Amino acid sequence: MDPIQPQNSVTALSNHKKNNGEKADRTGQQLGTYRLLHLLADGGFAEVYLGEHIHLNTYAAIKVLHAQLVSEDLEQFREEARIVARLRHPHIVTTPS
């Protein structure tokens, strides 16, 4: 399977910055059943990592939300979630929650 094409996405919450204000690199960490391989993107309210399922050896885009979202970020996140929920493609897995 090509690691550049994630099969699904998982969202997790975590602290956005280290104590010195520098962003934390989560490469190599495990969230649930996914090991974070490398950072794909970094946005205003989340980081997206390429993750590998530790048992299935499948790949997914893992979105790690910054722990503190201000109200305008929360609305932007909800709008993004609504857009993604409407996507239909053979390489996108739909999850109900």
Structural domain spans, the chain: 9-85
- Check residue 56 and give its pLDDT: 93
- In this prediction, residue 91 carries a pLDDT of 79
Q: What is the pLDDT of residue 65?
A: 81
Residue 2: how many CB atoms within 10 A of its CB? 6
Residues of the chain with pLDDT under 50: 1-7, 9, 11, 13-20
Task: Look at residue 18 in the predicted model and tell me its pLDDT.
Answer: 46
Long-range CB pairs of 70-79 (<8 Å, 24+ gap) are: 73/44, 73/45, 76/44, 76/45, 77/45, 77/46
In this structure, what token pair is assigned to residue 9? 């996405």
The architecture in CATH of the region 9-85 reads: 2-Layer Sandwich (3.30)
Residue pair 27/38 in contact by the 8 Å Cβ criterion? yes
